Chain A
Amino acid sequence: MRPSSSPEPASALAALTWACSRDLRIALRHRGEVALVLVFFLLVGSMFPLAMAPDPGLLRAIAPGIAWVSALLATLLSLPRLFAADHADGTLEQLLLAPAPLAALLAGKVLAHWLTTAAPLVLLSGLAGLQFDLDPEDIAILALSLLLGTPLLTWLGAISAALTLGARGGSTLLGLLVLPLAVPVLIFGAGSVEAASVGLGAEAHLSLLAAGSILASMVGPATLSLAVRIAFE
């Protein structure tokens, strides 16, 4: 990022859109990296039927869990991309010094990351659902649960990724931090499909996921900017 060519973000909204569009542009120029995460998501899902008897009933029963665990692992794998390159070339430090609210800049980065990682997973979950012979209604609920749950997951992951910047242990350490915190998302996400398929209705699970994501989007920016500041102490 050359200072001369970068616009001067002033308001929070301008900072957010600027950071988001910058990261989207970068993602667009490294399409392979984005695609890798999606391929990984489908690959992990395809491993499960190979590891057990391909009994359609059994696969249908565990499909939501597999889809959610695969999404969790794919998100985890993509998290270092959020800050690592910017940390290495000094961009993140410049963002810290920029005359725009850091929380808004980081929220823009997280939004871009969600758009390039989690949003495609929502679309791809339909394909995973077909692989496991789920009903169309269940596929819709699976996609909806991913849509509502992944923002919370992305915020938890972003905070953990900022905390582990430059730490030894890399992505393994990141997994140890993120996965226990992600347990509720996993339970409510996979549980929503299961609840719908046994006729209990998925509304309660989906509402909780949405509530968690809204709450995370409210407290996430401030927490994340604290985490990033800690990384530069």
Chain B
Amino acid sequence: MAAINWFRFASPASFYPLAGKLTGLFGWVAVLLAIAGLYVGFVIAPTDAQQGESYRIIFIHVPAAWMAMFIYVVIAFWSVFSLALNARLPSMMAQALAPTGALFAFIALWTGAFWGRPTWGTYWVWDARLTSTLVLLFLYLGLIALRSGIDDPRRADRACALLALVGVVNVPIIYFSVRWWNTLHQGATISMSAAPKMAQTMLTAMLLMTFSAWAYAIAAALHRVRTIIIEREALTDWVGRLVNPVQRQRQP
């Protein structure tokens, strides 16, 4: 019986109201955690001995970079369901997550450049991490572009799902190839993996911001998926009642 309860929400019609409630919940969680995280990060956390105040950008940069990678894996997860079960909702979730992933990849690159200028003395270095994040951004843009290039939504669903799966196999390969390429080209002038031990408050702020970014990603994706559901199911009865209840009731 439990299985039936799970599949209940696989239908866009019954998922739509649930997504609405969850959007509000996760949205508020994101806001509260962000306020707490930014307060700890920008007011309580001590100034870094080596980097001064500029290090504080990592409270946005690191969560964004983590989420950019994580969301691609989540898209691949939904893509498996989309291809295997030929279901609509997983494809819609994958579609809804892609812009948020691209946004986080962009934020990670942008804040990284702002942090790199005072710290490394340059906006951009061909560091393994930067380069693979850039490639990740292009992968997201490819997904979004393929989606908008195909008019039939069901075909676009399956094409994007297959592309996401090919991409997710490639992501670790890209990461390691870029790392190898980087070590061959230039010595490891900058290494963040051997960072000095982080103060407790800094870690707290970073974790708060990470959970905030996570909650934001869920809220944004659910909000977007609601729009997608309405758009795709526009011709169904339940959307008709939802959009224009009075007019529908008058019709016999």
Contacts and interface: CB of A to CB of B under 8 A. Distances in A.
Interface of A: 156, 159-160, 163-164, 166-169, 173, 176-177, 179-181, 183-184, 187-188, 191, 194-195, 200, 212, 223, 226-227, 230-231, 233
26 contacts: A156-B166, A163-B163, A166-B150, A167-B150, A168-B148, A168-B149, A168-B150, A168-B151, A176-B145, A177-B142, A179-B138, A181-B167, A183-B135, A183-B177, A184-B173, A187-B177, A187-B180, A187-B181, A195-B184, A200-B184, A223-B166, A226-B162, A227-B159, A230-B162, A233-B152, A233-B155
Nearest to B143: A177
A177 B146 contact: yes
Contacts of B158: 230, 233
B149 A167 contact: yes
Nearest to A195: B184
Nearest to A185: B177
Nearest to B181: A187
A93 to B, nearest CB: 15
Interface residues of B, number: 29
Nearest to B141: A176
Contacts of A160: 163
Contacts of B181: 187, 191
Can you list the 7 inter-chain pairs with the closest CB atoms, starting with the nearest?
Answer: A167-B149, A184-B177, A180-B138, A169-B149, A187-B181, A230-B158, A168-B149
Contact of B174 (A173, A184, A191, A195): A184
Contact of B166 (A159, A173, A184, A191): A159
Contacts, number: 80
Contacts of B150: 166-168
B215 interface: no
Given A223-B166, A230-B155, A231-B155, A176 B142 contact: yes
Interface class of chain B by DSSP = helix
B248 interface: no
Given A191-B181, A191-B184, A230-B155, A173 B173 contact: no
Given A164-B146, A167-B159, A173-B145, 18 more contacts: A156-B166, A163-B146, A163-B159, A163-B162, A163-B163, A164-B149, A167-B150, A169-B148, A173-B149, A177-B163, A180-B139, A180-B174, A181-B167, A183-B174, A184-B170, A187-B180, A191-B180, A200-B184
Contacts of B141: 176
B153 to A, nearest CB: 11
A188 B180 CA distance: 9
Nearest to B132: A183
A181 B166 contact: yes
Interface in B97-154: 135, 138-139, 141-142, 145-146, 148-152, 154
B19 interface: no
Contacts of A166: 150
A186 B59 CA distance: 34
Given A183-B178, A233-B154, A227 B162 contact: yes
Nearest to A184: B177
A10 to B, nearest CB: 28
